[in-house]
Structure 1
Amino acid sequence: MSTDDPILLLVHSDPWVRRELVEEIELWSSGDLDVISAGSEHEAYAALSGKPDAGDRLAIVISDEKLVDDNGRNFLSGIQKRFPAASLAILTVQNETATDGIHQIPSSPEATGRSIRPLRLAWNPPNPRAIAKGPAGTREADILEDFFWRTSTTFTWTPGDPGSENDIRITIDGEEYVNPTLEDLFKALEIFREPERPLKHPYDLVIVGAGPAGLSAALSASLNVGLSSLIIESHIPGGTATTSINLIDNYLGFPKGVSGTRLAKLAVQQAKALDLIDFRPTLTAQYLKRGDHGRYLVGVVNSSNGHVDEVSGAMVLLACGNKPHTLKLANDRRPARGVYYAALPCDQIREQGQSIVVVGGGNSAAQAALQFAEGSKVTMVAIEGFDRMAQSLQAAIEEQVANERIEVLAGYKVTEFLGDEQLSGVKIKKADRSRKLHTRHVSSAYILIGGEPDTKWLHPNVQGLENGEEKVELNRYKYIKTDHHLRRHRGKLAFETNLPGVFAAGDVRVNSLRRVGQAVGQGAAAVASMELYAAENPRILIDKTSPAYRRFKILRLTDP
């Protein structure tokens, strides 16, 4: 929790119940909220008075129906007058629909926890970091909303007037950006420090991928070895962890779990404070070549403007992670909008009252279906059934099936998307030889069927090899082989690939367990091997501004 996190205020007269509710709220909010609690209206206002910026940060207020010094509804009405932007909820045994702007929540810890996401999404921050205006419900709007959510940026969105221009205008700190690129937003929001070194700078280390492994390696390389590092990332820091709706519940130091977006935000804050780390967002790696002095060149393209260039590193860490599996369809027609490969909490607003399909039979698909079932009609489709999901999730799905909020189709597959600009439906059939097609009219399809390593760029074609591009050894599933997994592994350092000085860590590496903790550990361990490699090959370090260059100076002078 940081001092700029949104505030959630819980008011309940029973201290034992209050404690249980706070624990459940912290579990569901995963540390993204500043949770404060009070036993009465008087205590609640006293707690808010201790927060000078409560007017900007008060996002959610939850009160019991009966308080020792007032009625819960009267208390919330008073809050509504003082803090009109906050989301309000009352704990009740009734299931009536609120008509006065106050949500009603069943008075149980589990129901309170489940309500946190929709309540936060209903919050309309009075002083958001970003103010957007323009046509909502477009592919461009989806991309920007996804960016704001995954970077924990508070924002408001005002739809454009009918018949007005189609430009999206975003105001950040008083400056307006028209149809901004993600690179523009990274700079405007100062998510990373603006690099002082030019793109052609001879870095000690180039890191491909800003997921947990890449960010961990950058921190270790800077703090432990003194290497100058460049992180290149094609999208948003944090990797696939920021697209998961599941809490990371097995990471050291977070006993109640932590969301991927929160963990990424904390890691980025650490990296931002270190001068030796440069971050270049929206750069996508294209190839790997050998350069002079035993160094490497990584070809990159800027997704914002299409500019092509090369970056130089004495060593390279491949931490490019996974990319989502896509469906194999009868035809390759895919609508511009409506097909998604991650389900974020913010998607609940877009899908309210809609019919959607979730493809997949694992835990992520189950969590997404349960999330959407609160306000949408959900169809789940899985070729191999749903045996791979946790039993608790299976039970929750069965409960929603009984309530007719979720339809389950085991042994079926999606064969075609319908619609041009916007998805209008899908065609499905049994996974056997049956030719009978069924149509489901849906506005969105969430494809949650796992991922594959993002390594195609490391296996150049014949023309690429003729141009000097290097080939990294992969296994049959396209994961990167390192150290003892290589055919010729004698003398290889831990996490080193078949190319000397090129290392791999995280989900992209062979035998990965796809765990955040493992990726973080491998990133740091790979840097330990890089330190040994640099000591054996000091001449590869030519960045005279880095501490590592000065540290290995004596070795460089004695190197034959």
Structure 2
Amino acid sequence: MGQPAILTVDDDPSVSRAIARDLRRRYADRYRIIRAGSATEALDVLKELKLRGGRVAVMLADYRMPQMNGIEFLEQAMDLFPHARRALLTAYADTDAAIQAINVVDVDHYLLKPWDPPEEKLYPVLDALLDAWQATGDQELPDLRLVGHRWSEPSFQIRDFLARNLVPYKYFGADEPEGRRLMEAADAGPESIPLVVTADGRALPRPTVQEVAEAAGLSVTPGRDFYDLIIVGGGPAGLGAAVYGGSEGLKTLLIERQAVGGQAGQSSRIENYLGFPDGISGAQLTDRARRQADKFAAETLNTREVVGLRTDGSARTLTFADGGEISAHAILLATGVSYRPLLAEGVAGLTGSGVFYGSAATEGPACAGSDVYIVGGANSAGQAALFFSRYARKVTLLVRGDSLEASMSYYLIQQLAQVANIEVRTRCEVIGAHGDGHLQAITICDSKGGTKATVECGYLFVFIGAEPRTDWLGDAVQRDEKGFVRTGSDLLANGERPRGWDRDRDPFYLESSVPGIFAAGDVRANSIKRVASAVGEGAMAVALVHRYLEAQ
């Protein structure tokens, strides 16, 4: 297929020549460097490459061009090469406009002109983009194929699992021609839906998530019986710990029961995370962190649910739901939190069939032209409102409190106010959900006027508070009244150490009531519920694990 291409688009001939020169100097032995003088010319080049079966690794587009600016070009280019990495070239004066426009198209980076010296300001960015592209490639991948029903919760669960784990798949409705053909070929009836067909042609009727994970090539079996550090939970805290644990030579295993990234991985865009001034999607951040953990040989175990924890002498042992066990010198609890269920009449029966917890980004395109309602007033709800406003006719944010200021970041409140098809309604609650087979309407109680109204609604996304998923811990470690794990000084009641504590020291800052068992991120009592702080705690936990191991 020849060398993959790096395409540059700039209408200024001197800039175009300069960037092509710098790119050839470093990448010409591995990549074909193509430059175009306009967006129209670049699209023609991409179309020809597509017809010839070529590959494009990275596209660099100038922001300010006549007829079609860089954002508009990248929007169209994505249709031809959706896996190519994308960067915007901007002058300093255009930075603010470029950052705002980046929300329109999922740009990976932007570069300021001039970029001298390229060794500092150009090549590191391009190296990272090329590494990311090489991890997935631009060629057609042997996708899984899923046949399901539009409003089926089991079908949604598999689609959501594959999307959140960045597994390429193709979805076909059971009533579509291709869906019917796949079912006939697999000799499968309606009772087999959802039906997964693997790349090698195996048919999996009504598979479990673990069976889907195995078919997708995700790791579901640990590589050893004993580790230095086992991390339970693959959100920002768990990923941070996996990167630092692996990089510092610890035999590290990360266990995730659903999808690496946790709630942060579902965010459509995180804009206040240090080092990403133009924002980054939760999926992108998760993918980079996962690949970084892989680089340092930290193992990831998917779709395995941990249901028990005990102390075996100097070892700490976890029990899986299937009865298996795994042990380590130290355990880090990084299970985060789950969205609290919406306890309104009819909601439980429609979950996955119009009612969704979290952003459920797979539903975005299906919302086109519909009215979407979002329940919640924190950052996750605001980010979801911005995401779905790109598809829906109207997005209504229902907030129980008097305003957003107490629970949402200022920058998000400002962005919501600027989007014409987003409405924020305060002091409102959903008290009922209605529909035959899928959500069709909701009943809203407006406490300001004391009124109730039933409105048409096909999509309801819920972001109401969070609660730790720690019931499985039982009495293994101390938890507060809400279920969050107590650590460090929170365990020193009246200056006394926890009952059963057998060390001649106080618990370390992130250490639980059992030596060698640590907690980090949202699951920890009195933690700061932010992505940056969770990553920091994950890194700090590894340093404390080292101190614990050195004293053994």
Q: Tell me the TM-score normalized by structure 1.
A: 0.69
Equivalent residue, structure 1, for 2:147: 134
Give the SS at the match of 2:67: coil
Residues 5-20 of structure 1: pairs in structure 2 closer than 5 A: 13=11
Distance 1:396 1:135, change over 3 A: same
Equivalent residue, structure 2, for 1:377: 394
Equivalent residue, structure 1, for 2:105: 116
Give the SS at the match of 2:104: helix
Distance 1:507 1:392, change over 3 A: closer
Query: Does the 8 Å CA contact 2:148/2:195 hold for their aligned counterparts?
Result: no
Q: Does 1:183 align with 2:210?
A: yes
Equivalent residue, structure 2, for 1:205: 229
Counterpart Cα distance in 2 of 1:442 and 1:369: 15
Counterpart Cα distance in 1 of 2:283 and 2:82: 24
- C-alpha displacement of 1:345: 4.0
Residues 481-520 of structure 1: pairs in structure 2 closer than 5 A: 481-487=486-492, 488-489=496-497, 490-520=505-535
Equivalent residue, structure 2, for 1:91: none
Counterpart Cα distance in 1 of 2:315 and 2:438: 47
Give the SS at the match of 1:257: coil
Distance 1:346 1:133, change over 3 A: closer
Q: Does 1:425 align with 2:441?
A: yes
Equivalent residue, structure 2, for 1:227: 250
Distance 1:140 1:534, change over 3 A: same
Equivalent residue, structure 2, for 1:263: 285
- C-alpha displacement of 1:536: 2.5
Query: Does the 8 Å CA contact 1:249/1:258 hold for their aligned counterparts?
Result: no
Counterpart Cα distance in 1 of 2:393 and 2:8: 28
Equivalent residue, structure 2, for 1:558: none
Distance 1:58 1:256, change over 3 A: closer
Q: Which amino acid letter does the alignment assign opposite residue 396 of structure 2?
A: T
Per-residue CA distance 1:179-229 (angstroms, 9 max, x = gap): 4443334334444496433xxx233332211122222323333332x4333
- C-alpha displacement of 1:236: 0.6
- C-alpha displacement of 1:486: 1.1
Q: Which amino acid letter does the alignment assign opposite residue 203 of structure 1?
A: Y
Residues 77-116 of structure 1: pairs in structure 2 closer than 5 A: 112-116=101-105
Aligned match for 1:174, one of 195, 200, 205: 200
Distance 1:193 1:135, change over 3 A: closer
Query: Does the 8 Å CA contact 1:359/1:448 hold for their aligned counterparts?
Result: yes
Equivalent residue, structure 1, for 2:339: 324
Equivalent residue, structure 1, for 2:477: 472
Counterpart Cα distance in 2 of 1:520 and 1:398: 30
Counterpart Cα distance in 1 of 2:423 and 2:529: 30
Equivalent residue, structure 2, for 1:356: 372
- C-alpha displacement of 1:132: 2.0
Query: Does the 8 Å CA contact 2:9/2:35 hold for their aligned counterparts?
Result: yes
- C-alpha displacement of 1:457: 2.3
* Farther-moved stretch of structure 1 (212-221 vs 126-135): 126-135
Identical positions, percent: 27
Distance 1:184 1:392, change over 3 A: same
Per-residue CA distance 1:266-309 (angstroms, 9 max, x = gap): 2222333455x433211222232222x232322221xxxxx233
Q: Which amino acid letter does the alignment assign opposite residue 237 of structure 1?
A: V
Query: Does the 8 Å CA contact 1:202/1:312 hold for their aligned counterparts?
Result: yes
Give the SS at the match of 2:549: helix
Equivalent residue, structure 2, for 1:289: 310
Counterpart Cα distance in 2 of 1:228 and 1:49: 48
Counterpart Cα distance in 2 of 1:345 and 1:433: 33
Q: Does 1:217 align with 2:244?
A: no
Distance 1:223 1:443, change over 3 A: same
Aligned match for 1:157, one of 161, 166, 171: 171
Gaps of 5+ in 2: 17-32, 85-96, 108-137, 184-188, 498-504
Give the SS at the match of 1:414: strand
Distance 1:472 1:85, change over 3 A: closer
Give the SS at the match of 1:387: coil
* Farther-moved stretch of structure 1 (365-374 vs 165-174): 165-174
Residues 395-410 of structure 1: pairs in structure 2 closer than 5 A: 395-398=414-417, 400=419, 405-410=421-426
Distance 1:300 1:433, change over 3 A: farther
Equivalent residue, structure 2, for 1:446: 461
Equivalent residue, structure 1, for 2:404: 387
Counterpart Cα distance in 1 of 2:467 and 2:14: 46
- C-alpha displacement of 1:10: 8.3
Query: Does the 8 Å CA contact 1:9/1:44 hold for their aligned counterparts?
Result: no
Q: Does 1:145 align with 2:159?
A: yes
Per-residue CA distance 1:414-469 (angstroms, 9 max, x = gap): 112223642222112134794x43112211111122322222322x2xxxxxxxxx
- C-alpha displacement of 1:234: 1.2
Gaps of 5+ in 1: 19-34, 88-107, 119-124, 302-306, 461-469, 538-560
Counterpart Cα distance in 2 of 1:8 and 1:390: 38
Give the SS at the match of 1:485: helix
Counterpart Cα distance in 2 of 1:326 and 1:410: 20
- C-alpha displacement of 1:372: 2.4
Distance 1:14 1:151, change over 3 A: farther
Query: Does the 8 Å CA contact 1:60/1:86 hold for their aligned counterparts?
Result: no
Q: RMSD of aligned C-alpha atoms?
A: 4.3
Distance 1:427 1:391, change over 3 A: same
Query: Does the 8 Å CA contact 1:85/1:126 hold for their aligned counterparts?
Result: no
* Farther-moved stretch of structure 1 (36-45 vs 484-493): 36-45
Give the SS at the match of 2:320: strand
Q: How many residues align?
A: 459
- C-alpha displacement of 1:235: 0.4
Distance 1:338 1:239, change over 3 A: same
Per-residue CA distance 1:158-183 (angstroms, 9 max, x = gap): 33346764434445543434244433
Equivalent residue, structure 2, for 1:39: 37
Query: Does the 8 Å CA contact 2:266/2:361 hold for their aligned counterparts?
Result: no
Equivalent residue, structure 2, for 1:272: 294
Equivalent residue, structure 1, for 2:112: none
Equivalent residue, structure 1, for 2:267: 244
Equivalent residue, structure 2, for 1:196: 223
Counterpart Cα distance in 2 of 1:393 and 1:534: 43
Give the SS at the match of 1:218: helix
